[in-house]
Structures are given as structure tokens and as C-alpha cells.
Amino acid sequence: MPHRPTASDATPLKDAARGLRFAFDKGRATLKQALPLSLLPEPLAKAAGSALAGMDQITNAAERQTRALARSLLPEDTSTTTSLDDLTNAAGAEHRFAAAFYRGMQFSLRALGVDTALISETTASATYAQSLQHGTAASDTALAARLMPALIAAGTLRDATLPATLDMTFAELTRLATFATLLALLSDDHDLTVTLPACANMALALRSEIAAAQNDEAALHRLFDEFRHHV
Amino acid sequence: MSDHHFPQTTEPLRVAIRRLRWFRTAFAQQLAEVTAETGVRFTLDDRKLAAAFVQWLRHVEAQKPGDRTQRRAYFDFASGLMLRDLLRDLPITAGPLPLDADLSRAEYYWPEGFACTVFCLNMHAAVVEQEFDASTTTTPKFFDIRHWWSFRENVTEDANTAIGFFDVFVGLEPEWQIPDSFRLRLDRALIAKKNAERLSA
């Protein structure tokens, strides 16, 4: 009997569609930087422009089909109102966490000045499940402190296009965005669209302490406890 | 200076002010009011504001007194600390002055310092009114440009002096030596009270 995909199999499909889009966007940006169409002589410029447009169409079609397949297996959760506590106590917690984390990271990265990034929802889901294999965390802030180094080490943020004006490395961007997202999931207001800009600015204000904490769960736990009610 | 209008909240102001989002909204609203009154526009740097907020929050949380009789003095102190942290990080930049700006007035002599001070004075007044059902006053020194010359010069050299100037503006005895210590402030107030009692005995 052929393998029939289950609902949770949709997450890698969503990731695949996003990966396709990211790779194309990044490739196009690199190509445009290396080969400015405006400087090419005609008819070369026209040919190169048509080739890029053709690639764009192929990517759009592939992305649409993959997304449609993913949606048919698992309706896309686009809610922006959630908290870590609610997610932990819900059925299918790892998938719900991963979806919320994905959206949170998008907002965090945007607030930090990065518009194009590749975030793996599949990795976030697996990391969440693995973190709970070590036993239940004593509190939601303890869980966030456990998750943060694990999400970073697992490479949940796969890649990002860093603007030239950004004053941080990819590693620091990953740390700050992950901290901001988890802080937003702990804060008293559960609307990520509202809390994340403030959480990102708070993460920036705490950047040296977040960098110093690295994988120190106790230090991260203290920071989450200290600031969760002050977003 | 306008009456204190702040964003609506279901929480007491002393709680709301310790949330970055409300703090930011309240600060931006006060800037808009200063702009309406003076014609000076401001650019707000959210990252610097968050840095000032985090510093202020940590200082006020660390020095929170256990004794409830010290609450009023603590709110006075916390407002001065807020001014110090805002002026140290200075999250705003003033745009061009109106053509008819009178530089002998604080709002045009030092627009950024004036806007931050007005915010802290109004916040202090609103919290004191809500928590203690009491009103506050601003002393004539607030309107005296010579104090603003000294205020600006001193704060540029040492941001801590902002706490003393805040005290002067609200009619409190300033502590210039170690202004950022609430404990020292209380001790000095106690000594001054005892000395006054001894003199009147």
C-alpha cells in the first residue's frame, strides 16, 4: 500500500515551498548584483531580463503547487495570537509551536531589519519535541531557556539576506531574533504582530548579555523571567 | 507644559509605565503634544528608547523599597532616574526650530532636553495623583533659562545630575553627590529631618 502523507508531513512541504522561494529570491538578487541589467547592451539585456522573468514564473508555479499540496494536508495556521503556555498544553504542541515560532521569527527578523530569510518550521517542530524528551520544564520561562540554544544549534534559521547596513553577524541575528520570538511568546500580550517590534528592540538593548549567555540556560531563564512582564 | 494626557490603560500607571510598548506610546504622545505647542518636530529612535527603558527598569526594580512608607519618595526618585536614562541615551532628535523661535525659552534652547523633562514631569504628576491622590507643582526654576543653561551643561558632563535637576523642578531637595542611590537619598532626608527637629526643640 503506498504511503499516504499524514497531516504532520505537510510541514516539510511548506518548508520546501519556502526554500524554493528563498533560493530564487537570493539567486536573483545575486545575479542582479553581479550582472546589472541596466549596464548590459541590447539585445543581451532583453534576453537576460526575459530569462529572469521566466525563472520567476517557474518558481511561482512550483511554489504555488507545493503550498497547495501542503494546505490540502494541513490547513495553514496563520493566527498571530498565541503564548508558549497555551501551545505547551495543546494537542500537537510541537507543530503548533513550530508554526508560531515561524511567524514570530518572521516578525522578529523584519523588526531587526531583515526581510528575506529561510526559517525551518520542520526543524523547530523536531527541536521542540526533542527538548521535551528531557522531561517537562519547571515553567514556561524555563522551557524557553531550554529551547533557545537548541533552536539555534539545530539551525532553525537556515539562511538570511543581510542588508549592508545591518550591524550584526548572522550568528548574532539568529540569537537576537530567537530571543525576541521566545520573549514575545512569554509576554502578557499574546498578539505577536504587536509585541514583536518591542521584543526585538528589547533584545537589541540586551544584546551583550544575550551574547554572553550563549548556551547558559540559567542566565537565559533569568533574562526571560526579568523581562516577560515588561514588553 | 500641557496637562498630563497618557494612553488609556486598564492597569495602574505605575504598572503600565513598566511595559515598553505603553512607555513608547506615552512618550510618542507627549512628543506630539510638545510639537503641537512649540512647532518643533522630533524623530524618535525606538532602539535607543528601548535601551533607556531597560536601563531605567533595572535601576528602579533593584532599588524598590520594602517599606511602604517610602513609596512616595521612591516614585519621586524613579521619575528622576527616568529623566537621567532618557537624557543619557537621548532617543530623540529635534528638527529645525521655527523661524521665530525664542532661544531664551527652554523648549527652543534645548528641545530634546525639554521634551524628555516634560514627559518625566507629567508622568510623575500623573502617578502621584493616581497613587496618592496628591497634586504636584513645577517650581519657577523650570521656567528660568539660566537653570536650563546649567542643566544642559551638567547633564552633558554627567547624566546623573539630571536626577538633581528633576528634584529642583518639582521642589524637592536635590541630592548631588550620589543622586542615583535611593538608600542614600532616604538617609540624607532622615538626617535633615532630625537636624530640623533638633533646631526647633
Inter-chain contact A197–B18, Cβ cutoff 8 Å? no
Domain boundaries, chain B: 13-200
Comparing CB atoms, the residue among A188, A204, A229 nearest residue B47 is A204
Inter-chain contact B51–A195, Cβ cutoff 8 Å? no
Candidates B27, B47, B49, partner chain A, best to mutate (most A CBs within 10 A):
B47
Inter-chain contact B47–A206, Cβ cutoff 8 Å? no
CA dist B169 and B86 (Å) reads: 17
Mean pLDDT over all residues of chain B?
93
B19 CB neighbours in chain A (<8 A) are: 188, 229-231
B10 touches A: beta carbon within 8 Å = no
> pLDDT at position A73, please?
59
> For residue range B32-56, what is the model confidence (pLDDT) as tens digits?
999 999 999 999 999 999 999 999 9
CA distance A53 to chain B (A): 39
Helix (H, G, I), strand (E, B) or coil at A154: coil
> pLDDT at position B2, please?
46
Residue A50: exposed, middle, or buried by beta-carbon count in 10 A (0-12, 13-18, 19+)?
exposed
B47 CB neighbours in chain A (<8 A) are: 201, 204-205
Instruction: Give phi and psi for A115, each to the nearest 5.
Output: -95, -25
> pLDDT at position A31, please?
66
> pLDDT at position A46, please?
76
Average pLDDT of the residues in B124-142: 95
Question: Which of the residue ranges A12-26, A139-153, B59-73, B173-187 has the most confident prediction, judged by mean pLDDT?
Answer: A139-153
Closest Cα in chain A to B16: A230
A197 CB neighbours in chain B (<8 A) are: 46
Report which of A102, A113, A43, A44 is spatially closest to residue A78, judged by C-alpha positions.
Answer: A102
CA distances from A208 to A202, A204, A216, A226, B149 (A): 12, 8, 14, 16, 35
Average pLDDT of the residues in B111-116: 98
ipTM rounded to 2 decimals? 0.89
Candidates B14, B18, B19, B60, partner chain A, best to mutate (most A CBs within 10 A):
B19
CA distance B50 to chain A (A): 6
> For residue range B86-109, what is the model confidence (pLDDT) as tens digits?
999 999 999 999 999 999 999 999
> pLDDT at position B95, please?
98
Q: What are the pLDDT tens digits along chain A (231 aa)?
A: 445 445 456 788 777 777 767 776 777 666 666 666 666 677 777 777 777 777 777 777 766 776 676 666 555 666 666 788 888 777 788 989 999 999 999 999 999 999 999 999 999 999 999 998 878 888 999 999 999 999 999 999 999 999 999 999 999 999 999 999 999 999 998 899 999 999 999 999 999 999 999 999 999 999 999 999 999
Instruction: Give phi and psi for B154, each to the nearest 5.
Output: -65, -40
> pLDDT at position A2, please?
46
Helix (H, G, I), strand (E, B) or coil at A198: helix
Candidates B54, B56, B85, partner chain A, best to mutate (most A CBs within 10 A):
B54
Question: Which of the residue ranges A138-142, A170-174, B177-181, B183-187 has the most confident prediction, judged by mean pLDDT?
Answer: A170-174
Comparing CB atoms, the residue among B18, B46, B55 nearest residue A201 is B46
B85 CB neighbours in chain A (<8 A) are: none
Residues 34-73 on B with a CB inside 8 Å of A are: 46-47, 49-51, 53-55, 57
> pLDDT at position A49, please?
75
Residue A174: exposed, middle, or buried by beta-carbon count in 10 A (0-12, 13-18, 19+)?
buried
CA dist A39 and A105 (Å) reads: 37
